[in-house]
Amino acid sequence: MQYDPRVKRAWKLLLFFSGCEKYAAPAVTPEGTQPQVRDDPSKCVDAPAPYEVPDLRAQDAVMKAINELGECARNLAAPSNVMVQVHFRSDGAVKAVSILRADTDDCHALECVRQHLTRARAPVSDKGERRVGVDFTLRTRPAPDGRERVNWAMRAESRRCTDDASDDRSVPGVRAPTEIQGVVRASYGDLRQCYEAGLGHNPNLRGRVVFKVLVDPQGTVESVNVTDNQLPDCQVVACLQRRMINLRFREAAGKTTFVYPLMFEPG
């Protein structure tokens, strides 16, 4: 059969007018890999809650002060883990600083921590007084932003220079920072699973998620809202939110609301 080039041209014209020439094959990723997920972090946040901002800024004020505590560790034999609670007045000045946990019995170093944190300043708040609880490793060269993972299993804790946190428990609806951090940290394994699932789609996934948690008097979490987020994967954020709502606390005299930030990064 003799080939007629006019037939080929006729078919091309038919394909063009039928729209088939406009079809583009979908992008194909290399075999064995998945396309990276990168959502707009702001899309993962719940309804705006402006009244949360002062609390987050108060926490940032504490973190900044922790970054300036290097001189307090000058005479320590080794870096020490410390947990503090800073009580801010509504005008932003510090009302009290409590050392809740420590694995050093160097009272001079811990008193230095108290004195430095007393000079911290937070923004003025129209919501009244605020308490910020954080833990950190006291060392001559602190983490640049005051944030680092703290391993309390490294050494035995000392009660020689710490304060009694029982006053927090006597206030209706107020749970001690030690209880809140203990409950959240006990669930780190479950929370990490959410993040590791996101790493499967984006190996460079990292960022901070801030949750506002409301706990009823029976210790059941009523609600968990995302108030701030820099983690660009809404599926991971939603998973974290579901895990946070399963937290269980002790009974208290009233409802408790607290803000808790979680930082995730590879490794």
Burial class (CB in 10 A: 0-12, 13-18, 19+), 117: buried
Residue 175 tokens read as: 């749970």
Residues in the chain: 267
Asked if 212 and 225 touch (Cβ cutoff 8 Å), the reply is yes
Compute the distance between CA of residue 218 and CA of residue 249 in angstroms, rounded to an integer: 8
Compute the distance between CA of residue 40 and CA of residue 38 in angstroms, rounded to an integer: 7
What's this model's pTM, rounded to 2 decimal places?
A: 0.48
Which residues have C-beta within 8 Å of that of residue 114, sequence separation ≥ 6?
Answer: 97, 99
For 52, the 3-state DSSP assignment is helix
Name the percent of the chain in helix, strand, coil, to the closest 5: 35, 20, 45
Each residue's pLDDT tens digit in the chain (267 positions)? 455 555 444 444 333 333 333 333 333 444 444 556 677 777 777 754 433 444 678 888 988 899 889 999 998 988 999 988 888 988 999 998 988 888 898 999 999 999 999 999 999 988 788 888 888 899 998 876 556 677 776 677 887 888 764 444 334 445 777 788 889 989 999 999 999 999 998 999 988 898 888 888 888 998 898 888 888 999 999 999 999 999 999 887 777 888 888 889 887
Q: Domains plus CATH for the chain?
A: 48-163 (3.30.1150), 169-267 (3.30.1150)
